[in-house]
Chains A and B, each alone.
Chain A
Amino acid sequence: MKKYLSFFRVRFAMGLQYRTAAIAGMTTQFVWGLMEILVFRAFYADNPAAFPMTFEATANYIWLQQAFLAVFAAWLIEPEIFDCIVDGNVAYELCRPVNIYDMWFSRSMASRLSRVLLRCIPILMIAPLVPKPYGISLPPSAGQFLVFLLTLALSFLVSVSFYMWIYVLTFYTVSPLGLRLMVGSVVEFLSGGGIPLPFFPEKVRRFLEILPFASMQNVPLRVYSGSMTPGETQRAILLQIFWLVVLAAAGRAMCARAVRHVTLQGG
């Protein structure tokens, strides 16, 4: 455990070094959140009745999404891991006395966490100052907030274990970059990164809510403003746990197989 923690720490310190990058990233996310809200304002002005949730809840959804972007973002792939698979240097990683899947997992977590911690605070500080109903509002209750944190943590883990699959599949593809692009944008969209999941057509949404996509991003964002019933929330949490276990266990097994394959082939 200690060695994973130390990977974690190194990565975290590295992330903190880049102050300018953090400020730039925050600005970007703030502007994107703002633009997104302006779009929804325009749609709301045309037909408020067609909204699947209140405007406040939509604004909350968007701000939280921007604040915690690094938790879910598909494009946040560790280039070093990716490169070492592509150029075959993964063999060196095998010399270390650690499980490669666990190591990469903790590394992804660390780099995402260091980003999130740096970037969410300022956004969460500024977004409440945006005038109502465009800003972010407090969750309805403390209990609700705790549930939000729980689902956020779970969606973090589900996301990381999902994106671990991109590394695992990289072992098997001719076009790693194409894979990364394609999986990235499709997953991003299906988990609500393009437009919030509640705005999807009913049938599509129901379908996506069973698949891991909703577990990755949608659940905590909706839980926050209390737009899910307790029953729905419970079911969503169970699904998140289910997907976490399935994705991580299968990914770990698959990774071990891929690595064995590489060592047998000699790179």
Chain B
Amino acid sequence: MIEMQHIRKTYRVMRRSAGFKEACRQLFRREHDEIRALDDVSFAIGDGEIVSYMGPNGAGKSSTIKILSGILTPDSGHCVIDGLVPWKDRMKHVARIGVVFGQRSQLWWDIPVIDSFELLRDIYRVDQRRYEQNLDELTALLQLEELLRTPTRQLSLGQRMRCEIAASLIHNPRILFLDEPTIGLDAVSKLAVRDFVKKQNREHGTTVILTTHDMQDIAALAERVILIGRGRILLDGTLDDICREGGSGDLEQAAAGLYRKLDIA
């Protein structure tokens, strides 16, 4: 059970502008901008749900994910996940979650994938029997058989993503965060990833929170969609709600229409 209530977060960022003259001027004076990343965000997610978290770039998606995964402390508000406050009980909390950052790899570049898995086994203190069980299951479902002995650098993007997802599940997390899991993947890999996530959710009851720009991902996976823009939750409903509000049957069109209508693009 994930509960977020009235979460707020503001960043200070340095202003930098282009041009030679500006550069010289800024040698002596610096300006800061305040950016309200999250402005009173509240929602609750039950066990075993798949939720898509969508919104344009800079809407506050990654801030939310960071707070949920214990990396970021909000300025104010409450958040309890399975009885723990993520940023306060970080160590305990992160042992129960799995995170896939689509853009970054957690696998060791030069050595076979299986070695990275074994390291993760030790990091998460998974006992050997359970590790083997999980590995067998993941290997079968994600078709990793031939990839495990290959060094990461020789894998295609799709193959690597399958391994990344397996790596994030080696310790049976109860919640899985997927940050743009299908970015850059070919059609076959995308389908494989989606199928797997669904299956994982169905069979293990894993809660999945997904951020993505790929509307097809959302259509395939999520019954529930949370839309965020300018740090505020703007819609919490189903795909049908998105289509209705966005005024189009086509998902891509609907999302774009919605962004424009809400003026968050």
Q: Do A and B bind each other?
A: yes
Contact with B along A1-28 (1 / 0, CB 8 A): 0000000010011001101000000000
Give the contacting residue for B16; candidates A9, A12, A17; CB below 8 A: A17
Q: CB distance A13 to B20 under 8 Å?
A: yes
Number of interface residues of B (CB under 8 A): 8
CA A216 to CA B255, docked complex, whole Å: 61
- Decide if the interface of chain A is mainly helix, strand, loop or mixed: helix
- The proximity string for B residues 43-74 relative to A, scoring 1 for CB distances below 8 Å and 0 otherwise, is 00000000000000000000000000000000
Interface residues of B in 110-156 (CB under 8 A from A): none
B13 interfacial by beta-carbon distance below 8 Å: no
Neighbouring A residues of B27 by C-beta, 8 Å:
16, 19
A7 CB, min distance to chain B CBs, angstroms: 14
Contact A19 B20 (CB under 8 A): no
B91 at the interface (CB under 8 A from A): no
Q: With the chains together, A267 CA to B24 CA distance in Å?
A: 40
* Contacts between chains A and B (CB distance < 8 A), count: 15
Within 8 A of A (CB), among B1-43: 16, 18-20, 23-24, 26-27
Q: CB distance A13 to B19 under 8 Å?
A: yes
The complex places the Cα of A9 from the Cα of B19 at a distance, in Å, of 10
Contacts of B26 in A (CB 8 A): 17, 19
A contacts with B, residue count (CB < 8 A): 6
Verify B20–A9 contact, CB threshold 8 A. yes
B258–chain A nearest beta-carbon distance, Å: 38
| A13 vs B24: C-alpha distance when bound (angstroms) | 8
Within the assembled complex, what's the spacing in Å between the Cα atoms of A16 and B26? 9
**For the complex, what is the distance from the CA of A19 to the CA of B24, rounded to whole Å?**
9
Q: How far is the CB of A134 from chain B (nearest CB, A)?
A: 29
**Which residues from B are CB-within-8-Å of A17?**
16, 23, 26
Task: Please state if B16 and A16 are interface contacts (CB–CB under 8 Å).
Answer: no
Tell me how far the C-beta of A173 lies from the nearest C-beta in chain B, rounded to whole angstroms: 19
- The residues of B that contact A16 with a CB separation of less than 8 Å are 20, 23-24, 27
Contacts of B20 in A (CB 8 A): 9, 12-13, 16
A12 vs B16: C-alpha distance when bound (angstroms): 16
The residue on B at minimum CB distance from A22 is: B27
A124 to chain B, nearest CB (A): 18
Q: A19: which B residues are within 8 A, CB to CB?
A: 26-27
Note all chain B residues with C-beta closer than 8 A to A9: 20
CB-contacts of B164-184 with A (<8 A): none
Nearest neighbor of B20 in chain A, beta-carbon distance: A13
Contacts of A13 in B (CB 8 A): 18-20, 23
Whole-angstrom distance between the Cβ of B253 and the nearest chain A Cβ: 35
Chain B residues whose CB sits within 8 angstroms of the CB of A12 once the complex forms: 20
Chain A's nearest CB lies how many Å from the CB of B98?
31
Closest CB in chain B relative to A87 CB, distance in Å: 12
Q: Which of B160-209 contact A (CB under 8 A)?
A: none
Shortest C-beta distance, B150 to chain A (Å), equals: 21
Name the distance in Å between B20's Cβ and chain A's nearest Cβ: 5
3 nearest A-B pairs in the assembled complex, by CB-CB distance: A16-B23, A13-B20, A19-B27
Residues on A close to B: CB < 8 A? 9, 12-13, 16-17, 19
Question: Can you report 15 A-B residue pairs in the complex whose CB atoms are below 8 A from each other?
Answer: A9-B20, A12-B20, A13-B18, A13-B19, A13-B20, A13-B23, A16-B20, A16-B23, A16-B24, A16-B27, A17-B16, A17-B23, A17-B26, A19-B26, A19-B27
The interface of chain B, by Cβ under 8 A from chain A, is 16, 18-20, 23-24, 26-27
